[in-house]
A and B are shown apart, each in its own frame.
Chain A
């Protein structure tokens, strides 16, 4: 690759990098304390419907092997 082509590639790459950084720099950011509070609220609002947190009664457990009853 000629040095001219190489340097124009680098310039194109640098332009793309600047373009991308401009996009990323322009976003609105919220405070971490607010983000944390929202995540906490989501967890507490959905805790009741989280079977792994609440526990699953044996009769409703789809993965538990059903034992058969035998009449002795």
Chain B
């Protein structure tokens, strides 16, 4: 007993020492923040985007949407128990996928455009082939012990999931089995974002931490404290942005290992539900509980515009690969396209 206590004390002392060392190292490189550095960047002025389409079809709250890599198709998920695949150029619905469980929280499009994945309070990730004559369930990935909060395909054979059971998981779609389980968070994992080279991903969780993971080794490489409900990479892959129910968004740089700017405004008292970036990374589109999507200048930290039109919380946002617009999805059951 005494030996164990001594070891515990030594380990605790080492933990505290390492934490202090990390904070000191971060402070050591903290020679100024982004908004002061961005003083020399050109102004973006007022960003005024117009509503181009309102997509009507869901009968209940929309919880998630994801663009296809062709920048034209888009899939949305609603607690009316359906996934809808849309042709955003015409506004037409292409496919309706009925869900076994209506409590869906996340949806994803495979890069090939052949598959979609969804899941939620059923704790499963269901993968469907939407190119078949009628949507066919390919796999039900069933191993998480908590809700599925987010899913993202790497390809038609691999998918990454985040769960309320505090883990993220890489699955092999050919076998339907887990390949790697990423454990380190101590709170529900709420969101994840893949890096473009697919070697790493970032996850956000209710433990107020964001973590960077090595996708192939299964290890956690860096941990950032702050907050997270949604998370997305900055296009150069060296930074990521997070949004939170504390009404702010933040940008973290991976190479400085810390937060570089906070996006907050005294007049904004609503939680951030989702966020996405324009192709250059200059604009952040953040969906809030106040029914709006506010637009931020990512470098200067200023609010530069707003997308107003939804009658309820904006629950999801997304910019397609060609950067030609932004889609907002809401609890009001509509998706809107703006540019």
Contact = CB atoms under 8 A, between A and B. Distances in A.
Nearest to A37: B37
Contacts of B178: none
Interface residues of B, number: 68
A21 to B, nearest CB: 4
Contacts of A46: 235, 279-281
Interface string B3-38: 010011001101100110110011011111110011
Nearest to B37: A36
Interface in A5-60: 7-8, 10-11, 14-15, 17-18, 20-25, 27-40, 42-47, 49-53, 56
B267 interface: no
B105 interface: no
Contacts, number: 179
A35 B52 contact: no
A10 B1 CA distance: 13
B31 A44 contact: no
Q: Give the size range of A's interface with the partner.
A: 35 or more
Say what secondary structure dominates the interface of chain A: helix
B58 to A, nearest CB: 19
Given A42-B235, A63-B89, A11 B8 contact: yes
Nearest to A21: B18
A18 B11 contact: yes
B250 to A, nearest CB: 13
Contacts of B220: 20, 23-24
B244 interface: no
A37 B223 CA distance: 23
B302 interface: no
B324 interface: yes
B280 A29 contact: no
Nearest to A8: B4
Interface stretch (B40-48, B132-140, B154-162): B40-48
A63 to B, nearest CB: 4
Contact of B238 (A31, A38, A50, A53): A38
Contacts of B323: 49-52
Contact of A21 (B22, B38, B278): B22
Contacts of A25: 18, 21-22, 25
A27 B25 CA distance: 10
25 contacts: A14-B15, A15-B11, A17-B15, A18-B11, A18-B14, A20-B220, A20-B223, A21-B22, A23-B219, A24-B18, A28-B255, A29-B25, A29-B255, A31-B29, A35-B253, A36-B33, A39-B260, A43-B282, A46-B281, A49-B280, A50-B278, A51-B322, A53-B280, A53-B282, A62-B88
Given A32-B33, A50-B280, 16 more contacts: A8-B4, A14-B8, A17-B11, A21-B15, A22-B18, A28-B255, A32-B31, A36-B38, A46-B280, A50-B323, A52-B47, A53-B47, A53-B280, A62-B88, A63-B53, A63-B88
Interface of B: 1, 4, 7-8, 11-12, 14-15, 18-19, 21-22, 25-26, 28-34, 37-38, 40-42, 44, 47, 49, 52-53, 72, 88-89, 184, 219-223, 234-236, 238-239, 251, 253, 255-258, 260, 278-283, 298-299, 319, 322-326, 337, 339
